[in-house]
Structure formats: C-alpha cells, structure tokens
Amino acid sequence: MTYPTLFSPLKLGPKVARNRSWMSAHATLLVKDHLFTDAHIAYYAERARHGVAVITMEAMAVHETSLPYRGKALAFDPRMVPQFARIADAVHAHGALLLAQPWHRGRETNSVASGAPVWAPSAVPCAVYREMPHVMTTADIDAIREGYRLSARHARDGGLDGVEVHSMSHGYLLNQFLSPATNHRKDAFGGSLQNRLRLVMEIIQATREECGPGMIVGVRINSDDGHEGGLRPDDWAEIAARMTGSGLIDYVSCSHGTYLNRMLIYPTAPERHGYQMEATRRVREAVGDVPVVGVGRIVTPAEAERHLVSGDCDFVAMARALIADAEWVSKAARGEDIRPCVGANWCMSSIFAQAPIACIHNPAAGQETELGSGTLTPAPRPKEVAVVGGGPAGLRAALTAAQRGHRVTLYEREAELGGQVRLWSRAPSRVELLGIVEWLERQVAKAGVTIRLKTVATEEMLRAAGHDALIVATGARGLRHGWTPLRPEKWDGSILPGADQPHVLSYLEALREAAPPRGRVLLYDGLGGRQAVVTAEYLAAHGAEVEFVTWLGQPAPDLAASRDWAKTYGMLRRMGVRFATDLELVAIEGRSVRLRDLYTKEEAVREEVDHVVLALGAEAQDGLFHALSGTMEARLIGDALAPRRVDAAIREGELAARAI
C-alpha cells in the first residue's frame, strides 16, 4: 500500500472509520423545498461508493433566521427524518459513515430570503452583508439551543451515524459568541471565555443527550480566525481542550477564516497546499487522544499521507478535491491518475449563480445520476470520429468518444494541446489550471486517441479521411474591434478609431505572443471577467507597466462569484498594476488613448502608451462546422459554439461524445 496511514482504519467515538478520508460539508444547491433530494443521494453515494470513509452532509439550518437563500436544508424540520434515512441507506450500503451538520449563520447573512431579522450576539454587522443584526435575547438563545437539539434528534431518528455541531468556524453564530471581536455582551453569555463558551457547551450537551452513546458527536471549529481581534491558534487550542475535556465529543474538525477573509476558508489558486495545518496541529496537541480532522487545499494522496504521518491531524478532509473527482479515494488506493482540483473555485461560482454544485472540469459533479460512474455506455456501432481542436472541449470529447469504443482522431493546429487553458496558465497565479489539460492529455493517450498536432484540418482533408462523425471544437479568436457592450450598434464590423493599429492586440494575442508586450500597456476590459486580470498579471509579471481601464464600476466584478476579487486586486496592485473605472474607450490615436467618463462625459488622454490590449470578448470560429454539417454527422461545442468558460466547453464535449 503506497499510503498506509491514509488507508488505515481509526476508531471514531463508538464507530470505526474504514480509512482516514473525510468529505467535509459544503453547499450543493441540490435542495428542494428545504429538503434533500434524489440528486443528493446520488452525490453522496457516489463518493461513498469510491471509498470515502466519513461524509459530513452540507450545513443545515437550526432556525428559520439562518436562511441565506431558498436552497437551504432545514435540520429542525421533522420532514427531514425520512430524507436522512434515504441518504443513510444509500451511503451505508457502500460502507461510509454519514453525519449531519446543524448550523446557524448569525450575522453572516441578510434578511432577504428569510424575511426575518439577522440574529447575532451583538449589534456588529457582517463585512460582506452589512446588515445590522438583532441582538439576541435570552429567549432567542433558548430557541437556538432547542433548534440544535431538534436537529440532533432528527439525525438520530433518521439513522445517521452522528452529528457535527457547526457554527464555531467561519465566523458563524457560535463563532460570533466565542470571539471577543463580535461578542460584546454583558450577560452570562459574554465577557470571560467561560461565558462566551456557555452556549456552545449547552448545545454540545443537548446534542449528546439526543444522540446518546451510540452516535458520533463532533464539532467544527476554526484553528485560526485569521483577523485582528479574532481568535487565533492558541485561543482555539484552549477552546478545543475545554470542549474535549467535557467528555462529550468524539472528534474536532478544524478550518480557518471568517467572512472578513473568505480566502482562508476556500482559497483559489495559488495557495500553499496544507496551509491550515500548522494551526490545526496546535489543536491536535491540545486535545489529547481525541481525533482531529484537518483541511486546507489537500489535493493529492501524497499530501494527505504526509500530514497524517507528521501528526498534523488524524483524518484528512476534502471538499473541492472530491468534487473534482468522486473516485479520489479508490484511485488513490489503486495508484490511478486522479483528476486534480485546480483551485479555480468554479464550484463556488456555480453556487453564487444559484445553480447546483459543479466543477470546472468534472462534468459529473452534481449530475451523478446522468453522468456519474457507470453511466457511460458503449457505442452501438463504433465509428470513425474526428475531433477538430485540442482545447478542453476537444480533449473531453475525444476522451469520452474513445471510452465508448469509437476510433478517434484529434486534430490540433498548434504544436501542443490545451487551447486557452494553456495560455491562461502562463500567468503565475493560474499555473494550476494546467492540471485540467494535462490530466485530459494523459487520459486521451491511454484511451488510444490518435493525436495530430500542427495539423490544420480542412474540409477536403476531413472528407477524404472518411470520418463518420465530426466534433468541431475550434475555439474562438479575440476581438479587436474596440467596442464594448455600450455600443451594440457598432458590433457590425466597424472598428473603433485606431483599433486596427499594430500595437493594439486582443488579450488572446497578448497571451500568445512569444515576446510579451512590455513598456506602458493600457489594458482595456469590457467584460468584467477573469480574462483581463489574467492578462494584466501575465504582462506585469514580464515587466510591463500596466494600467487596467474599464467602463465598469469596478475591475472584474465577476470575480465576486469565486470570492477572490480582493485577493486578485491585492496581487495586481503589489505588481504595480493601476486601475481606472467608469471610462469608455473613445479612440486610439497613435500612442495616445482617449477615454471618456461614463457619467460626466469628460475626456481624459493617456499619453506615451506602447501597447493597447483589448479584453472585449471573442468570436466563435465555426466555419468548419457550417461547411461540413450538411455532409456528415457533426456537432459544434465549446467556444466554437459560443465563447464562454472552461466548464461549458468540457460539459459540451462530454455530451457531444455521448450522443454519437
């Protein structure tokens, strides 16, 4: 066994976990009517089937005042009991343990979905939601305690293995009671640590009373709040010691961060893998023999084994790694190639859009019934399939078609595969994105796909080759016309004055240049997505003096979905990038660029500009498809269909190959 500690069993309260892997709780938006669904069953059962030892289901509200959005399960609702039983049956059939996670967000929400005031121990608004909370009364505290009790009772009656008491991590309600930064009370629940811990211990006591000795009871805490005035590693080590000293809990699960610094909770790349482990180790040293669960961008079995062997933790918990590959544990046991989590946070972006859980390069995530393991059927008749374009869409299509038994030839005009993903990975913070295409490259090679690099697939070539089916994934070309969505009437083929000069490039051209543009670069963003910030980083990393200009009210607002806008802005500012907003691009006159304030209409001129780089979108390259679609079975996917995101390209590649 390559990872003997990872695959060793361990006692967890009254039960035994078959190995040291743990799926930590995370939102899925698979909830309907505040209840779990068949999609939930499939989602958790898929991970259990492939070897995960312990699964903590997503956080469930203990009270109606903790309703950040309508897609939230209610642990206090008695209708949840039969739902728990259905999921437990499915997960237990594969040998995993299943835990509920009752929780309350406290001030870290708003009243829009619930229609009720936000509750908190003190009138301190959240830095994200900024809504003034209602200061909880003694009756409110009683209601929360009762909500946790009911949640534990329903978990017991539903046949779950245990309960993980949540809200002590990530700045949620019980964290707000524990932290002197957010608890300014003068009663029995404020002041000293003993008082601030009072409600937590009462909830743990109530949970144990409901669960009895036959169920697991654990807690989810921080090992570092990560902000001034908050609880730091030594504070959490003391809190954990007091909790475990009560004899009421069977494990401690550690995380980091609050909504003041959410990149400590679920950081995008780049972030040091295992970044939370130093603080988690302090908690482990403080709690004696009680098992400790650690998290923190642990994405490979080798990383997991290292932290277990070194004594940082007793279990390794993962969320995003298991979203990226439901077979992570079984592949680790067999020594197979795991689809890596690349830290893109598309899972978070999907939730932000109120869509079910998804992964940037695992199309089955959240769609296990339709696309999960065992759903891919052999082709009724193997065909000769041509895939044109070796970006993520083409690679996924080629792989799935080959796995179904088709004979696949992949044509790529460049000298290497990867498409735009490979271009984006040239920015230092995006290097991990290479994991998407490198994993696909390895899989298509194993599947026997014939790959022809530096080959322009023409109509004549494809007709002559005698292919039965064609998948066109020829991508898109960056737009250089200079117009933003502010001027829809100009998107008729006209050119912004000066945009056709040789020192004006699209963002894709700038990323593709063998010698990156240097000197003074004005990067103009009309999209608000990640394209422009990746390009700005790439240029600045190669010595350019970059000004990032946009007609939008803030740079790259779409990064709010992945929660890393502050992290990205800080990185770019440290690299010397300057920002200017609310400015329309008017003209490029030699090395002068004219801009107009969107609201005052005043014009400003940037002089001595060496290069202008335009992030204004891309144009689908679909000519080959339209030329051949009437003569053979043909499908158009990815950016060649409509320039979008990696997740769309890979999903469409999967679906197209399944349809042949």
The pLDDT value recorded for residue 630 is 87
Domains of the chain and CATH, by start: 10-371 (3.20.20.70), 384-475+621-659 (3.40.50.720), 479-618 (3.50.50.60)
The CA–CA distances, whole Å, from 207 to 166, 183, 203, 217 equal 12, 23, 6, 7
Q: Given the structure tokens 């009663």, which residue do they identify?
A: 187
The pLDDT value recorded for residue 190 is 98
- Which pairs from 356-360 meet CB under 8 Å and 24+ separation? 356/28, 356/29, 356/30, 356/39, 357/26, 357/27, 357/28, 357/29, 357/30, 357/43, 357/323, 358/647, 359/323, 359/324, 359/647, 360/436, 360/645, 360/646, 360/647, 360/650
The pLDDT value recorded for residue 513 is 85
CA 577 to mean position of chain CA atoms:
26
The pLDDT value recorded for residue 547 is 98
Contact in structure between 240 and 286 (CB atoms under 8 Å): yes
Sheet holding 545-550, edge to edge: 504-506, 611-615, 520-525, 545-550, 578-580
Annotated active-site positions, please?
A: 172
Measured distance between the N- and C-terminal CA atoms of the chain, rounded to whole angstroms: 40
Which residues are CB-contacts of 52 (< 8 A; sequence separation ≥ 6)? Answer: 21, 22, 23, 96, 322, 328, 329
Q: Which two tokens stand for residue 311?
A: 């004594």
Handedness of CA 500, 504, 505, 507 (dihedral sign): negative
Q: Which stretch of DSSP H or E encloses residue 143? A: helix 138-157
Chunk the chain into consecutive blocks of 10 residues (it has 660) and report each block's average pLDDT, rounded to whole numbers.
Answer: 94 98 96 93 98 98 90 93 97 98 96 92 96 97 98 98 97 98 98 98 98 98 96 98 98 96 92 95 97 97 98 97 98 97 94 93 97 96 98 98 98 96 95 97 98 96 94 97 94 94 97 91 97 97 97 95 93 98 97 98 97 97 95 96 96 98
Note the pLDDT tens digit of each residue in 457-482: 999 999 999 999 999 999 999 999 99
Contact in structure between 191 and 185 (CB atoms under 8 Å): yes
Transcribe 17-28 into DSSP letters.
ESSSEEE-----
The pLDDT value recorded for residue 515 is 87
The secondary structure of residue 359, as a DSSP letter, is: -
Q: Given the structure tokens 């969107």, which residue do they identify?
A: 598
Q: Given the structure tokens 């908050």, which residue do they identify?
A: 230
The CA–CA distances, whole Å, from 390 to 104, 302, 405, 450, 617 equal 46, 30, 20, 12, 20
Measured CA to CA, the distance from residue 490 to residue 495 in angstroms comes to 8
